Amino acid sequence: MDKATFAAGCFWGVEATFRQIPGVISTRVGYIGGKTENPTYKEVCTDRTGHAEAVEVEFDPAKVRYADLLKVFWENHDPTQLNRQGPDWGTQYRSAIFYHSPEQAAEAQTSKEALEKSHRYSRPIVTQIVAAVTFYPAEDYHQQYLEKRGLASCHVRS
């Protein structure tokens, strides 16, 4: 198994999207990239912890490639919005890829450059590509939030 971590706005919809992909073994939502240890949702919502709402994806690389996960990431949010997605704003909603290996870093950078060269967006892509650090799982009630409520999605598609 391998791990990938993505931030693309509100983590509820992002998690629901990745859970549907064959080869994804599990997902969990949480916080990454900030300075506060063991942050709570309430603290992250203050926009003072530095953490992004993110989804940690465990996947079987024999069934789904990291490149396929990157494609889903790019297609399911607007990577040109700085610190926001739709109505949600703040650094916790930033677009970021947290890589777990040099190979993931290179693949993420290549995919970002290809998207930029495609001119799909009229604005620059602001997605950060940074090394994964400690991932703090969100509170239980956030895990599979939409699924528990019978909802399909809440995120913005580009």
Catalytic residue among 4, 7, 8, 10: 10
- Per-residue pLDDT tens over the stretch 60-74: 999 999 999 999 999
- Per-residue pLDDT tens over the stretch 88-114: 899 999 999 999 999 999 999 999 999
Domain ranges for the chain, please list them.
Answer: 2-148
Report the alpha-carbon distance of residue 67 to residue 134 in Å, rounded. Answer: 23
The yes/no answer on whether domain 2-148 falls in CATH 3.30.1490.20 is no
Q: Which residue has the higher pLDDT, 42 or 145?
A: 42
Mean pLDDT of 146-157: 60
Please indicate whether residue 45 is annotated as part of the active site: no
3-state secondary structure of 98: strand
E strands, 2-148, in order? 2-8, 24-32, 52-59, 84-85, 88-89, 95-99, 128-131, 136-137
- Reported as a pLDDT band with limits 50, 70 and 90, residue 145 is low
